[in-house]
Amino acid sequence: MRHFDLSPLYRSTVGFDRVFSLLDQATSPDGITYPPYNIERTDENAYRITVAVAGFAEPDLAIEVKETTLTISGEKKSSSEAAKAELLHQGIAARAFVRRFQLADHVQVTGASLENGLLHVDLVREVPEAKKPRIIPIAANSQTKVLETNAA
C-alpha cells in the first residue's frame, strides 16, 4: 500500500493545500528515471542539482522557475547531419525530457552551467531577517538577561 488518502485532512484544514500536494506527489509511484540527476548540499544554505544531459547543447535546454517549482526540460533540435547518418546502434538517449523539482520557501536559483554533459543548477536558501530567530532580552530585578535560541 503506497497511496494514502489525504481527503479527510482537506475537510478540516485551511491553507495546507501545498503541503498535501507535496505529500501526494512524494508517495505516488513515479516511473520517470531519465535523465538521472543528483541533489547535493554544497554549504549550509546552498544546494546544487546536477542533471546528466549528454548530447544536449545549451540551446536544447530550458530552465524555468515558477513560484516554488523548478522545471528543467530538454528537447534535441533535429539536425540535417543526423538525418543523413544511418544508425546501426543507438545507445545514447537524446529524447525529450522534463524534470520538476519542488523548492522550499526562500530557495532561489542563483545560476546554471553546462560542462562535460552535466547541467549544474545552483540554489541558495535566503531566509529574510524577519523570519530568522531573534534573541529576546529578559528583564528581571533590574538586570537584563539574554535568552539564546538555536535554530533547528
Q: Read off the CATH number of the domain in which 112 is found.
A: 2.60.40.790
Q: Does the global pTM surpass 0.75?
A: no
What pLDDT shows up at residue 70?
Answer: 93
Residue 20 pLDDT more than 90? no
Average pLDDT over residues 53-80: 87
In a domain, 140, yes or no: no
- Domain total in the chain: 2
Asked if residue 131 has pLDDT above 80, the reply is: no
Are 59 and 110 part of one and the same domain?
Answer: yes
Are 5 and 75 in a shared domain? no
Euclidean distance between CA atoms 47 and 126, whole angstroms:
12
- The mean predicted confidence, pLDDT, of the chain is 79
User: Which pLDDT score is estimated for 23?
Assistant: 66
- Confirm if 53 and 118 have CB atoms less than 8 A apart: yes
Measured distance CA(145)–CA(138) in Å, rounded: 5
